[in-house]
Amino acid sequence: MHQFNCPFCGQRPETEFTYIRAMESIPRDIVADAAQELERIYYRTNSRGPSSELWQHSSGCRSWLAINRDTVTHAVLEIAPIGPHAIAP
Amino acid sequence: MTRYSALALLHGALHGGRSWTRAWRDPEPKPSYDFVIVGGGGHGLATAYYLAKNHGIRRVAVLEKGWLGGGNTGRNTTIVRSNYRLPENQLFYDYSLSLWEDLSRELNFNVMFSPRGVLFLGHSDHDMSQLAERGNAMLAQGIDAELLDREAVSRFVPLLDCAPDARFPIQGGLLQRRAGTARHDAVAWGYARAADALGVDIIQNCEVTGFETNADAITAVRTTRGAIATRCVGLAVAGHTSHVAALAGLRLPIESHLLQAFVTEPLKPMIDTVVLSSAIHCYVSQTDKGEVVIGGDIDFYPSYSQRGSVARIAETAAQAVSLMPALGRLRMMRAWAGIMDMTMDGSPIIGPTPVDGLFLNGGWCYGGFKATPASGVTFAHTLATGTPHVLNAPFTLDRFEAGRLLDEKGSGATPQYH
């Protein structure tokens, strides 16, 4: 089981967090190309190893978190707050 | 191949078991094959069997990186059913169920298919109207379905807590009597033995490390036991679909998630059917050895680790005990996790890929085991003829681009929620 070090709450168990989606699938700009949009909505790298993902500390401070995680070892490589109001804790 | 029969059993017994021969060969890979199937689980072996049997193609190899049935074929809860809502899924899975009914005879191997019924429980008015709608959709396709009220559920599975003040009060259920369970390992072994008898080479401890292409067409498969020339490759690698396909430069609409299951210590017969609660997503059945098999939700985050969280085990156990309080006294014996390749609409992909000669059979989400025979028949048809079988025609990779999604649950491009 993962232990995530929430930037606001400290070390907390996986059960407090919710995986939202792969970072690569989040729209960030308007693309005119349909094939590009198709890739973004439906296709995934689905990495066996480091994976960049959006999570939420849903049963905690409810902050949105960018987590880089190894999908084989479950090692948490990086965890950072996300969004326009994200502040360094 | 020794044909298994009561007479052969008697003969074997009288000769101290020395008359039994090995069930399949252990051949060295040949330099080339007409068809190479990657993945020696139920789907890959069934595909090879039907390629040989239905299409007369014998120059077929099945490459398995570990041992036969060591992946998801041996990591599921062995449930076989066809109580789906969408016509495409109904037709596919009901054809599969009809093949299960005759599979032991077909393969001359006892796969222990047991049509003991599968009961979906409803806990609210909403659940019951959804189950009624699903039952009507099934009947419209000629699939058996019965809607039970609470009293009938209580009679059918006396151990269920049907009290009105239960944690998850049971209002009724949808029963498919033709559905049931099968012996998972026997499915892999039965298809392997039958395919081998038709000349298929089953090569274990042979991992695929790459593909050789010429002008975007497959020319060979690179493996840990050397290169094998072929013009047609079928991938049937379950949870590893994404990174094996990536060896050919493909990116797929798939995310790999963990699904756990566990068994209790063996007991005398206490549950003679399969009980599922779609609302809390917990399923319970009992094996012929007496162990109670319990399954639940996936772990809800992508993982290739084949081991899940203890929290999920605790949650699923609590759900099972709330449905069936008698389970509370049992000791858990084993837990395991399989890697599910979850697609963006919750339905599988069987068909061609953008690489010429590379075909994909994957994205089975939770539904792989029950699909094994139909998956084999339709994938073999697709490989042999280059065109889809009528039953797998809706399950192509290009459906995402075309907007023909088969989203049984209606949860969109969030694979963890299908």
pLDDT tens profile B180-210: 999 999 999 999 999 999 999 999 999 999 9
A88: pLDDT strictly greater than 60:
no
Do B225 and B241 belong to one domain?
A: yes
What confidence score (pLDDT) does residue B2 get? 82
Domain-ending residue, one of B292, B321, B343: B343
What confidence score (pLDDT) does residue B308 get? 85
What confidence score (pLDDT) does residue B1 get? 76
Residue B331, in any domain of the structure: yes
What confidence score (pLDDT) does residue B278 get? 80
Give me the mean pLDDT over the A12-27 stretch. 94
Do B246 and B159 belong to one domain?
A: no
Instruction: Report how far residue B63's alpha carbon sits from residue B237's, in angstroms, rounded to the nearest whole number.
Output: 10
Give me the mean pLDDT over the B74-79 stretch. 93
Contacts of B413 in chain A (CB under 8 A): 25, 41-42
Q: What is the largest CA-CA distance in chain A?
A: 42
Do B336 and B277 belong to one domain?
A: yes
What confidence score (pLDDT) does residue A1 get? 84
Give me the mean pLDDT over the B387-398 stretch. 97
Residue to test with chain A: of B303, B345, B397, B401, most A Cβ within 10 A: B303
Residue B246, in any domain of the structure: yes
Residue B6, in any domain of the structure: no
Residue B286, in any domain of the structure: yes
State the virtual CA torsion across B98, B102, B106, B112 in degrees, nearest 10.
120
B240: pLDDT strictly greater than 90:
yes
Give me the mean pLDDT over the B393-415 stretch. 94
User: Nearest CB to B302: which of A18, A39, A71?
Assistant: A71
Contacts of A51 in chain B (CB under 8 A): 302
Do B249 and B393 belong to one domain?
A: yes
B339: pLDDT strictly greater than 90:
yes
Give me the mean pLDDT over the B274-279 stretch. 92
What confidence score (pLDDT) does residue A87 get? 60
What confidence score (pLDDT) does residue A86 get? 67
Buried-state track B122-140, b at ≥16 Cβ within 10 A, e below 16: bbeeebbebbeebbebbee
Give me the mean pLDDT over the B12-36 stretch. 95
What confidence score (pLDDT) does residue B144 get? 97
Give me the mean pLDDT over the B140-145 stretch. 97
B72: pLDDT strictly greater than 60:
yes
Do B191 and B336 belong to one domain?
A: no
B197 token code pair: 């008898």
Domain harbouring B203, CATH code = 3.50.50.60
Give me the mean pLDDT over the B156-165 stretch. 96
Do B349 and B243 belong to one domain?
A: yes
B344: pLDDT strictly greater than 80:
yes
Q: List, in order of start, the domains of chain A with CATH numbers.
A: 3-81 (3.30.2270.10)
Do B244 and B311 belong to one domain?
A: no
Closest chain A residue by Cα to residue B303: A71
Do B402 and B381 belong to one domain?
A: yes
Give me the mean pLDDT over the B261-289 stretch. 94
Report which secondary-structure segment, H or E, holds A50: strand A50-56
User: Nearest CB to B255: which of A18, A46, A74?
Assistant: A46
User: Nearest CB to A74: which of B303, B310, B413?
Assistant: B303
A85: pLDDT strictly greater than 70:
no
Mean pLDDT of chain B: 96
What confidence score (pLDDT) does residue B357 get? 97
Instruction: Report how far residue B104's alpha carbon sits from residue B186's, in angstroms, rounded to the nearest whole number.
Output: 9
Band of residue B279 on the pLDDT scale cut at 50, 70, 90: confident
- ipTM summary value: 0.93
A28: pLDDT strictly greater than 70:
yes
Contacts of B240 in chain A (CB under 8 A): 48
Residue % of chain B over a pLDDT of 90: 94
Report which secondary-structure segment, H or E, holds B311: helix B310-323
Domain-ending residue, one of B298, B323, B343: B343
Band of residue B158 on the pLDDT scale cut at 50, 70, 90: very high
Closest chain B residue by Cα to residue A39: B253
B64: pLDDT strictly greater than 60:
yes
Relative orientation angle of helices B184-197 and B42-55, to the nearest 10 degrees: 30
B306: pLDDT strictly greater than 90:
no
- Report the domain count for chain B: 2
Range of the domain at B217: 21-78+184-253+345-417
